[in-house]
Amino acid sequence: MILIFEISTITRENYDIIVVGGGIAGIAASVAAAREGAAVLLLEKQVNLGGLATGGLISWYEPLCDSQGHQIVTGIAEELIRLSVRDCFDCLPKEWGGTEKSAPRRNRYCTRYSPTVFALALDEYVLSNGVKILFDTYGTYPVMEENICRGIITENSDGRSFYPAQVVIDTTGDAAIMHRAGVPCREGENFLSYIVHDIEYSHAIKMLNDNQIWAIRNWVNCGSDMSGNGHPEGMKKISGIHTEEITEFMIAGKLRMLDRIRNRDRYSYDIMSIPSMPQLRTIRQIIGDSNFKAINGNCVQDSIGHTGDFRMSEKFVRNVYDVPLSALYNSKFPNLLAAGRIISAPDHDDWEVARVIPTCALTGEAAGKAAVRYIKTQS
């Protein structure tokens, strides 16, 4: 016998803009749109904002300046770097606001921060800008009328709901909304990454001797680096778009970490935090009207601003790149926008630059403003 369940869908209040995904790009998009007077709903499947920057424990805010000390990223990206260290430690150089206690590790406008304290501060930041947040809520499907998105279906403890909207911004990190709307996409590949934050006696001694609280939070990676060094032999790279492979990814990281710590004196350390989400770098991106290109000196007519390369190699750090607005959308779907690591950036280096905090904040802010302008053209 086949059982058929009917799941009722409740229509909820209408919003001008719905942002799906509460990572850095989603935060920037929702705040930027709300500041322009839009009614904004931010959906987040976790119970904290920040995505990889908080729950993912990737707590390094990449540079907002080039290698010559010239600031190239401003706006909400700069607001967020200040917020990340407002209530806890920082590693900022003095020229970028550091103090005698900052202990900068690089002479650039970048910093380590506490991901837990940053997560606490982000709620206040977003709410104070007039954004409505829904935690523990999946934005599952866009409701499409041909090529126009009429809103988002959500799933949470209340059941299934439909939230109408004039514009939807996908900041999911895996382009789930864009893909389900029919927007053409590319898939990525990922090496295993499993980073935890631990503390041991040597870190505590350094903290006490140097009076530097940041020293107790140590990154430990039992997976690979960005080039694949350390990827388990025989394990295939994954796209991260299927539940089975995400589960394999997470279990492999946990088991390797467990194996690693079993060689340690169990009285000498503790793991402060483990990631609450997969630390995937490149999952899926849209195919936009144009592509973001990490080519030094590139100049585009529809630039939304500049960004740079976080990698410290001399090959990369001098480069400054324009980000085109047209990499944030496919014009066949006029009221859908993308921001963060899902923008159209097809080559490896392009995607590497697109996926980190400054570029996510920049594209999020641009998407939020563009969404408001689109609504105004329709009225």
CA 338/CA 344 separation, integer angstroms: 9
Q: Is the pTM of this model over 0.85?
A: yes
pLDDT score for 5 = 54
Helix (H) or strand (E) holding 180: helix 176-181
Which pair of structure tokens corresponds to residue 47?
């119970």
In order of 59, 73, 78, 304, 306, the CA distances from 69 in angstroms are 22, 12, 15, 21, 14
Radius of gyration of the chain (CA): 21
Q: Name residue 278's beta-bridge partners.
A: none
Is the alpha carbon torsion for 175, 176, 177, 178 positive or negative? positive
CA 324/CA 28 separation, integer angstroms: 17
Burial class (CB in 10 A: 0-12, 13-18, 19+), 58: buried
**Collapsed DSSP state (helix, strand, coil) of residue 374:** helix
pLDDT score for 308 = 86
pLDDT score for 66 = 85
pLDDT score for 39 = 98
pLDDT score for 2 = 59
- Write down the residue that tokens 């850095």 correspond to: 24
User: Phi and psi dihedrals of 185, rounded to 5?
Assistant: -135, 160
Residues (pLDDT < 70) of the chain are 1-6, 297, 312-318
The correct CATH number of 14-188+282-378 out of 1.20.58.390, 3.40.50.150, 3.50.50.60, 3.40.50.2300 is: 3.50.50.60
Secondary structure (DSSP) of 67-105: TTS-B---THHHHHHHHHHHTS-----GGGT--TT---S
Q: How many CB atoms lie within 10 A of CB 161?
A: 19
CA 296/CA 299 separation, integer angstroms: 9
Q: Can you give the residue ranges of every domain in the chain?
A: 14-188+282-378, 195-273
Burial class (CB in 10 A: 0-12, 13-18, 19+), 354: buried
pLDDT score for 4 = 56
